[in-house]
Amino acid sequence: MIKKYVNEYDIRTYECDRNNNLRILTLLNIFQDMADNHAKTMGLGIDYVLSKGLAWVGSNYVLDIERLPKVHEKIKIETWPAEEKRVGAIRDFEVFGEDGKSIIQASSQWILVDFRKKRPVGLRENLPEYITLPERALKTDFAKIPEVERIDEETKFRVRFDDIDMNKHVNNAVYALWACEAVDPLFRLEHDPKHIEIAFKKEGLMGEKIKVSTQCEGLHTFHSICTYDSDNNRELARAYIEWK
């Protein structure tokens, strides 16, 4: 039998933005921390997976956000492996506010890879101990995010040292930050994300030049995050955000 992994968090001042809302970057980092801790309790933590020459690679995130937690609010987060795929799995999350109401539902999709060959491998053949809880926080099939057809905003910068995680590439949570920042500053001041979809495509590396191309359609924005000015230009991620 498997149970949901549950934890409570007190939202600290330094985890919040100028509107006293929990930062999206911090929220996704909390999700990653909870997933890692749950995997350990399941006997499938990072050390065990690496010992078998395997690694989990994130491919998608989808979030529905009724509201973001506020500074000093005590929240509860639940996570669980929700569905098994041939070469990976789906892990879901649900966030509850201090009043006990569900305020965020999220789903993530992960691919199991042979980290030496960097190729997907079958989940059941390689991790037969993996168990799921047949319940979904968010119904999604991780539909393909449309290409950016018109560039209304363009942001350029370099990958920072702090953007890189222990796997030596850009942490998944950073892409959501880049997408949310790639709109007109006045628009960002007046709007919060209501729905976020991210598809991860390639690894971003330290010092690479990044270009975020954004197409704006009212309260809907589409983002293509790419490297540029190098011998290996490639699209690292694609995002779609609905704002409120």
In a domain, 87, yes or no: yes
Residue 112 and residue 71 share a domain: yes
In this prediction, residue 115 carries a pLDDT of 84
Same domain, yes or no: 104 and 184: no
Residues 193 and 113 in one domain: no
Residue 18, in any domain of the structure: yes
**Which CATH number belongs to the domain containing residue 83 in this structure?**
3.10.129.10
In a domain, 22, yes or no: yes
For residue 80, tell me if it sits in a domain: yes
The answer on 214 and 176 residing in a single domain is yes
Give the pair of three-digit tokens for residue 33: 């921390």
122 in the same domain as 11? yes
Spatial contact of 158 and 210, defined as CB atoms under 8 Å apart? yes
Q: Are 61 and 70 spatial neighbours (Cβ–Cβ below 8 Å)?
A: no
120 and 203 together in one domain: no
- Shared-domain flag, residues 116 and 160: no
Number of folded domains that form the chain: 2
- Which has the closest alpha carbon to 159: 145, 151, 170? 170
Amino acid 117: pLDDT: 87
| Range list of H helices, 122-216 | 123-126, 172-181, 185-190
The encoded tokens of residue 47 equal 């050390």
Question: Is 131 within a domain?
Answer: no
pLDDT along the chain (244 residues), means of 10: 94 96 97 94 89 92 98 98 93 98 97 90 92 94 96 97 93 97 96 98 95 98 94 92 98
- Whether residue 143 lies inside any domain: the answer is no
Task: Name the residue type at position 164.
Answer: I
Q: Please count the other Cβ atoms lying within 10 Å of the Cβ belonging to residue 233.
A: 12
pLDDT score of 118: 85
Same domain assignment for residues 116 and 222: no
Residue 31 to residue 47: CA distance in whole angstroms: 19
Pair 92, 166 in one domain:
no
- Domain span at residue 170 reads 153-243
Could you give the CA distance from residue 25 to residue 47 in angstroms, rounded to a whole number? 25
> What residues contact 201, with CB distance under 8 A and at least 6 apart?
234, 235, 236, 237, 238
Q: Where are the beta strands (DSSP E) in the chain?
A: 5-10, 54-65, 74-84, 88-96, 102-114, 119-120, 153-158, 193-200, 209-217, 220-227, 235-243
pLDDT value at position 46? 87
Position 230 in a domain: yes
**In this structure, is residue 142 part of a structural domain?**
no
Q: Which two tokens stand for residue 18?
A: 């100028």
